[in-house]
Amino acid sequence: MKGAAFYLLGRGGQALLVLWAAFSLSFVILYALPSDPVSIMLNQSGEQTAVNPQQVAQLRAQYHLDEPLAVQYGIALWNAVQLDFGDSIQSGQPVSASLAQALPKTALLAVASLVVSLVLGVGLALLASLTRQRWLRDVLLGLPAVAVSLPTFWVGLLLLQWFSFGWHWFPAMGNQGLASLVLPTLTLAIPTSAVIAQVLARSLAATSRLPFVDALRAKGLSPSRVLLTHVLHNAVIPILSLSGVIVGSLLAGSVVTETVFSREGIGRLAQGAVSSQDIPVVQGVVVLAALIFITVNLLVDLLYPLLDPRIRGAAR
């Protein structure tokens, strides 16, 4: 129990360190940009019109942009510790409200993409492992390498061209109904499923060469039963290790995907905030993404002993 408590405290300290680093790095990068967020806000129409200097000074004071950089950082960090990221410079809406409004839409897209990725990736790896035709196995194992190399925006544009503009099967943009979710889900799922298929196929091949598999075959079990009942259970552990990477890729891919399909969500919110140098919104998005990444990795660490008895035995 004491060891578990120290472990949780250590992971909690690491989580806080990662959150602080993510917040600080985003702060430094945004303030290093040459443009001024207040000027961008006052010229949202794109026309260079004369602005009232008094209005500019008032807005800069409102967002503490007239303070020294160290003071601005201290104020922003103290507010972030209290989960207060302030108001958006562009919309004036509280950042927490913007995140709460956008998060469910991105979460729905991410969960749908993850489910499709698992189905495609695991299915392809199992099919390649079960087939007895060497040429077919080589073809199936070569598909993930091709899919990984495809840029996300290109996949999205290709799906739009085929299924929206060409055959008119699915809407090209928006968040209306499940039909509008299909193409963005496939856009995110294709590269993610390729990674899952690559890792799982190698893990299945390595696990199939272990001595316990030879013993099971000697008992007369069919290859499919050995693979699905015994080998898959042990081979899936590396996929669990990739959970953090997969979640990170889904969050990063959502920026491109939601922009291509004009979907509301965290990705599009982040893209718009970076373009307009909306510092409070960007910092809120960065901290939220880091928090999700940390939470997933912590859950993975806690699940390891349940899936691998060797880890459970070592912990004792």
Torsion of Cα atoms, 81 then 31 then 14 then 239, to 10°: 120
Encode pLDDT of 223-279 as tens digits: 778 787 778 877 887 787 777 778 877 877 888 888 888 888 888 888 888 877 787
- Residue pair 235/203 in contact by the 8 Å Cβ criterion: yes
Encode pLDDT of 8-44 as tens digits: 777 778 888 888 888 888 888 877 766 666 666 666 5
pLDDT at 14 (0 to 100): 82
What's the CA gap between 170 and 178, in Å, rounded? 10
What's the CA gap between 117 and 154, in Å, rounded? 18
Amino acid letter at 126? Answer: L
Judge whether residue 213 has pLDDT over 60: yes
Judge whether residue 316 has pLDDT over 70: no
- Residue pair 301/15 in contact by the 8 Å Cβ criterion: no
Instruction: Report which of residues 271 and 315 the model is more confident about.
Output: 271
pLDDT at 80 (0 to 100): 83
First CA to last CA across the chain, in angstroms? 10
What's the CA gap between 238 and 73, in Å, rounded? 40
What's the CA gap between 107 and 72, in Å, rounded? 32
What's the CA gap between 76 and 70, in Å, rounded? 10
pLDDT at 307 (0 to 100): 61
Residue spans of the domains in the chain: they are 1-82, 95-308
What's the CA gap between 264 and 258, in Å, rounded? 7
- 94 - beta bridge partners? 87
Cα 138 from chain centre: 30
What's the CA gap between 60 and 64, in Å, rounded? 6
What's the CA gap between 297 and 316, in Å, rounded? 22
What's the CA gap between 125 and 199, in Å, rounded? 9
Phi-psi region of 49 (alpha: psi -120 to 50; beta: other; left: phi over 0): beta
Q: Looking at 44-58, 164-178, 278-292, which range is the least confident one? A: 44-58
Q: State phi, psi for 87 to the nearest 5 degrees.
A: -110, 150
- Residue pair 160/260 in contact by the 8 Å Cβ criterion: yes
How much of the chain, in percent, has pLDDT values that exceed 70? 86
The domain 95-308: what is its CATH number? 1.10.3720.10
- Residue pair 106/250 in contact by the 8 Å Cβ criterion: no
Assigned token pair, 164: 């929206």
Cα 23 from chain centre: 17
Average confidence (pLDDT) over 104-119: 89
